[in-house]
A and B are shown apart, each in its own frame.
Chain A
Amino acid sequence: MFKIVWKESLTPVIDCLKVEAPALAAKARAGQFVIIRVDEVGERIPLTLADWDAHEGTITLVAMRVGTSTHKLGKLKSGDSLIDLVGPLGRPSEIEKYGNVVMVGGGVGIAPIHPIARSLKNAGNRIISIIGARNRDLLFWEDKMQALSDELIVTTDDGSYARKGVVTEPLKELLEKGGINRVIAIGPAIMMKFCSATTRPYNVPTVVSLNAIMVDGTGMCGCCRLSVGGETKFACVDGPEFNGHEVDWDITLARQKIYLKEEKESLARWESCQCGKS
């Protein structure tokens, strides 16, 4: 059991949890992920690390309430426990001094962008961050991103806060100006697809982090397989970060929808079970 030492809701549908896991925290590196299981009947779901503190022996997870597992996660309180927490999994981000790096975080993807930006900043890069969400209520960690970015651009799709529009627009403007050495984009698959398409004409290396459906997270099941550069790769052990220009986005997008029907059924069942519970 892994104790939740602290929990807060970052937005009405996004939760942030700090979980006790000293051995994991000591090994964690930017870009890696964990697999959690909320309870005895729960699924194994991957979440990219939002933060960790080796000294304190904790890791931080951020999740948006989408399916049954993330809704269950949202119900947990400080003092409760996760039944399983496994990691750190996957390959860490490549951290080097590249020069000018654009960090693009979309929606809940702002969370994993944060530690990668910090590592890149510490490696001597100039960090330009673009964070975006559908609306003001889904935006979080603007302050944290502000603190470690040399330049921060905030967008909302509906214009309810900051600049109206999607993240690819300011990204294109930056690329147009030139001098960008690397782009790292994390968010919904469709956003990462369009970020990759935006940077391609400028030939700027673009890294995306693919949060595929997984079971074990150690290369055993192959559920998370993707086509990258014409080869089949496993997001869990070969990634989660890949060259966005080489990812076959059609397969990636299709594979995320495998269990759409079952996910809805499961969530409806969970929600009906919640009626009458406090």
Chain B
Amino acid sequence: MEEKAKSKINLNRVDMPRQDPKDRAHNYNEVALGYTEEMALEEANRCIQCPKRACVSGCPVNVDIPEFIKALRDKNMPEAVRVLKSKNALPAICGRVCPQETQCEEACTLGKRKAPIAIGRLERYVADWDLTNKDKRPATILPPPTGKKVAVIGSGPAGLTAAADLAKFGHKVTIYEALHTAGGVLMYGIPEFRLPKAVVQAEINYVKSLGVEIQLDSVMGKLATIDELMDKDFDAVFLGTGAGLPMFLNIPGENLNGVYSANEFLTRVNLMKAYLFPEYDTPIKIGKHVAVIGGGNVAMDAARCALRLGAEKVYIVYRRSRTEMPARHEEVENAEEEGIIFKFLTNPKQIIGDDNGWVKAMECYEMELGEPDASGRRRPITKAGSEFVMDVDVVVVALGTTPNPLIPSTTRGLETTRHGTVVADEQTGKTVKDRVWAGGDVVTGAATVISAMGAGKRAAASINEFLMKKQSF
């Protein structure tokens, strides 16, 4: 143990143990192992309980962070759980995948001294305690039923959060999920080693325990339209359908065998458990040399999955430099430790196939950075004559996703942008269509789990206001 700082304020953040990179590169067990009780208490005791509470406003769902930390250090775990869950229905998930470093922890007063409280790790500790001590769980007291019914489309972070809050207001909620498992991106996108699926299902069970019904295998827009739902049963609808459509590069060779969208690659691995093939029936191509194109968290996830599947070499191919990468610093570090090779300032020109239609190589350009573009990041410029060939047999395209048009294209009176996102009020999630709200990636384009949850929460409050006002007429 490091010696503690002598000052009143302890600036030594307690590290969280992680699996050794050499081991974890070959298994799907969780990488970050979580705090022990001793570690959690030591970290919680660093919190100065300042009156500023900047962390709370840094949180998209405004968790009462100082209060749950206080309960934790008082060893009053049920109270810590109660405080946490009163604002956040999915804390074990958020404690693992939220970018705390740009939210609550960035706002932390101790952050100015470069040692913010590890709020995410503490959140995870409290949430995990709750999942393993269900008998001690404080009962959620639900109000009497209002008789109002709300349909939630999509069971990802936005939908689950909206559903949980609406249920807590006393409304009857039915979630419609297109896939055969609830959880959306939490199940199909984020890998087991970063977010164990048992944790996701445990938190979904909590949402169900609030009385929320989940209808799986239900592709809305096809099985029923939004208008039909409202005509038949529901007083209001929340759209939390996410950003599910993959973007491709539109370069030659992209339809060759061995080229995957990150969505397909991750869905096969995570949702369909292709890493357990042939025990599970869904196969995946295990590349020898895999190139993952993109610099976001999804690219990191795909690269680390490819490595665990057994690839010899896995490259991240990114057209800008390390500084511009949108992935969380922690995930880039994890990937590097595991042996992922980063090819910065590299942009694919074409994917080259063999005679049978399989990927055998990828031709790339070297890039250099010019002036900042609209995104504020320096614009990558192709270096003339810089083409070179990479020897790869699997390519995963992780360039981002856009919303699925299934619902907008089958719903009258819903406004969409040219990016395919649904237009909704930022504060309330209200769309231009009567009785329909929307939130999460379907409104913002691909973003984070917690921002989707924040949107679900605000929409639930707005829906509740609408439903209760309506009742008083």
A residues sitting closer than 8 Å to B (CB atoms) are: 23-24, 27, 37, 41-44, 68-69, 83-89, 215-223, 225-227, 232, 237, 250-251, 254-255, 257-259, 262-263, 265-266, 269
Contact = CB atoms under 8 A, between A and B. Distances in A.
B216 interface: yes
8 contacts: A41-B280, A215-B267, A215-B268, A219-B245, A219-B405, A220-B246, A254-B358, A266-B277
B278 interface: yes
Given A215-B264, A218-B404, A259-B285, 7 more contacts: A88-B223, A219-B244, A220-B267, A220-B404, A222-B263, A232-B254, A258-B257
B281 interface: yes
A101 to B, nearest CB: 26
Interface string B268-283: 1000110001111111
B111 interface: no
Contacts of A265: 278
B292 to A, nearest CB: 15
B393 to A, nearest CB: 13
Nearest to A40: B280
A42 B281 contact: yes
Contacts of B257: 254-255, 257-258
A266 B217 CA distance: 25
B406 A218 contact: yes
A251 B219 contact: no
Interface in B298-353: none
Contacts of A43: 272, 281-282
Contact of B180 (A86, A226, A237, A269): A86
Contacts of B219: 86-87, 89, 217-218
Contacts, number: 114
A257 B355 CA distance: 13
B222 interface: yes
B223 A27 contact: yes
A266 B222 contact: no
Given A23-B223, A216-B179, A254-B257, A222 B357 contact: no
Given A218-B404, A220-B245, A254-B357, A69 B281 contact: yes
A237 B406 CA distance: 9
B222 A262 contact: no
Interface string B238-273: 000000111010100011111011011001100011
A27 B219 CA distance: 12
Contact of A259 (B250, B264, B283, B405): B283
Given A221-B264, A266-B278, A266-B283, A89 B222 contact: yes
B9 interface: no
A232 B217 CA distance: 27
Nearest to A248: B255
B178 A216 contact: yes
Nearest to B228: A27
A219 B261 CA distance: 11
Across the A-B interface, the 7 shortest Cβ-Cβ residue pairs = A254-B357, A262-B283, A221-B264, A222-B261, A220-B244, A84-B180, A43-B281
Contact of A227 (B217, B218, B255, B405): B255
A233 to B, nearest CB: 10
A227 to B, nearest CB: 6
Contacts of A223: 260, 264
A82 to B, nearest CB: 10
A24 B223 contact: yes
Contacts of B472: none
Contacts of A218: 178, 219, 244, 404, 406
Nearest to A45: B281
A27 B222 contact: yes
A23 B357 CA distance: 40
B224 interface: yes
A232 B263 CA distance: 17
B386 interface: no
A211 to B, nearest CB: 17
Nearest to A254: B357
A222 B178 contact: no
A88 B410 CA distance: 14
B222 A87 contact: yes
Contact of A87 (B180, B223, B250, B267): B223
Contacts of A258: 257-258, 285
B356 interface: yes
Given A43-B272, A87-B223, A218-B404, A68 B281 contact: yes
Contacts of B264: 215, 221-223
Contacts of B356: 254, 257
Nearest to A221: B264
Interface in B383-416: 404-406
Nearest to B241: A218
A218 B409 CA distance: 13
Contacts of A216: 178-179, 267
Contacts of A83: 180
Contact of A225 (B217, B218, B255): B255
Given A83-B180, A265-B278, A221 B283 contact: no
A227 B256 CA distance: 11
B408 to A, nearest CB: 12
Given A87-B222, A222-B264, A255 B281 contact: no
Contacts of B268: 215, 221
Nearest to A250: B357
A265 B281 CA distance: 10
Contact of B261 (A37, A221, A266): A221
B440 to A, nearest CB: 15
Given A258-B285, A265-B278, A221 B255 contact: no
A265 B357 CA distance: 21
Chain B CB within 10 Å — which of A84, A221, A226, A227 has the most? A221
Contact of B255 (A68, A85, A88, A255): A255
Q: Which of A88, A218, A227, A237 has the most CB of B within 10 A?
A: A218
